[in-house]
Amino acid sequence: MQNRVALVTGGTGAIGTVICRQLCKAGYRVVAIAHPSEAERLPGWEAERSAEGCDIRALPSDFGDFEAAAAAIKQVEQEVGPVDVLVNGAGITRDATMRKMTAQQWHEVIQTNLDSVFNATRNVFEGMLARGFGRIVNISSINGQRGQFGQANYSAAKAGMHGFTMAVAREGARKGVTVNTISPGYVDSPMIMAVPEEVRQSILAEIPVGRFGRPEDIARTIVFLVADEAGYITGADFSVNGGHHMG
């Protein structure tokens, strides 16, 4: 592995933090990207990771903006090293039924959840091809596979992620660059805890393994997919959902 550099967008969130921690413990030099609105809390976040034994850099940048993403990646490559592993995990929700969804709600979700995937990948892909190694993992969602009431924007963005995965996987395959999707189900995080209790219990009742996912379930899959030894896995969509959706 030779101390490879891993860049994680959305890296300071509930799931992203665990992903960063697991990658660090697996031997990667990790950089977490957070939205600029989170800038003030990043020094504390870095200190918490350091106390856990992980030296992880956190940078504020809006990867929904191409130029901002390019500048952040250039800074990472100058100060840490070439990006070998990219985890596209940045995501937001702006839920509304189609009758009530505004153009702003649509565009905000597409920009953060899908445009950011292009913006990040476009700025690391050429370097990966040139070096003959790269691992890209796009974090989609069960709702990108099956759709969800009131989430046309989110479901469209997450479904679009895997179309992107399959196309770019074909471009990188002969050059040692793999691209895969992970589609988590409902994960025990602040997002699911914000759902009303009765709704949360009805969701839980539909999950065959009988529990919500844990951030570690997602992180473990990512560590597996980005390993040097995982070079024969590309263009795939991994359902990490406890059997909630099988296809």
Domains in the chain and their CATH numbers?
5-240 (3.40.50.720)
Confidence (pLDDT) at 2: 65
The Cα–Cα gap between 235 and 233 comes to 7
Q: Does residue 28 contact residue 54 with C-beta atoms inside 8 Å?
A: no
Q: Does residue 24 contact residue 219 with C-beta atoms inside 8 Å?
A: no
Residue 192: band (very low, low, confident or very high) from pLDDT cuts 50, 70, 90: confident
CB atoms within 10 A of CB 155: 21
Candidate from 17-26, 79-88, 127-136, 192-201 with smallest mean pLDDT: 192-201
Q: Are strands 29-34 and 5-9 parallel, antiparallel or unpaired?
A: parallel
Instruction: Give the pair of three-digit tokens for residue 161.
Output: 């992620």
Confidence (pLDDT) at 1: 60
pLDDT single digits (tens) 96-106: 999 999 999 99
The better pLDDT of the pair 138, 191 is held by: 138
Q: Does residue 133 contact residue 79 with C-beta atoms inside 8 Å?
A: no
Active site residue 154: yes
Taking residues 129-141, what's their average pLDDT?
98
Q: Indicate whether 152 pLDDT > 70.
A: yes
CA distances from 4 to 29, 46, 218 (A): 6, 19, 20
Instruction: Give the pair of three-digit tokens for residue 80.
Output: 């840490």
Residue type, position 204, single letter: L
Taking residues 130-141, what's their average pLDDT?
98
- Bridge partners for 191 per DSSP: none
CA distances from 139 to 75, 99, 100, 118, 129 (A): 24, 28, 27, 13, 22
Q: Is the pTM of this model over 0.85?
A: yes
Helix (H, G, I), strand (E, B) or coil at 128: helix
Q: Indicate whether 11 pLDDT > 90.
A: yes
Confidence (pLDDT) at 234: 98
- Considering the candidates 28, 154, 186, 232, report the single residue annotated as catalytic: 154
